[in-house]
Amino acid sequence: MSRPVDAASLVILRGDPQAPDVLLGRRRDTARFMPGAYVFPGGAVDPPDIDLGNSPEWQGTRFHAAAIRETWEETGLMIAAEGPLPDCAPRDNPFFARLETDGRVPAAGDLRYIVRAITPEPSPIRFDTRFFLAPESVASGEAHAVGELPEVMWVPAAQALTSDRLRGVTKFVLSQALELWLDRERLDSPSRPIRLFTWVDGTRLIQKQAQEDGLL
Output the pLDDT for position 199.
Answer: 82
Q: How far is CA 74 from the centre of its chain?
A: 11
Q: Check residue 178 and give its pLDDT.
A: 98
Is 5-214 assigned to CATH 3.90.79.10?
Answer: yes
Residue 25: beta bridge partners? Answer: 39, 152
Residues of the chain where predicted confidence (pLDDT) is lower than 50:
none
pLDDT given at position 28: 81
pLDDT of res. 202: 76
Q: Where are the alpha helices (DSSP H) in the chain?
A: 47-54, 62-75, 94-102, 157-160, 168-181, 184-188, 211-214
pLDDT score, position 190: 94
The pLDDT, as a whole number, for residue 1 is 58
Q: What is the pTM of this model?
A: 0.95
Q: Where are the alpha helices (DSSP H) in 88-214?
A: 94-102, 157-160, 168-181, 184-188, 211-214
Phi, psi of 97 (to 5 degrees): -65, -40
Q: State the Cα–Cα distance between residues 216 and 211, nearest whole angstrom.
A: 9
Question: Residues 40-93: pLDDT tens digits?
Answer: 999 999 999 999 999 999 999 999 999 999 999 999 999 999 999 999 999 999
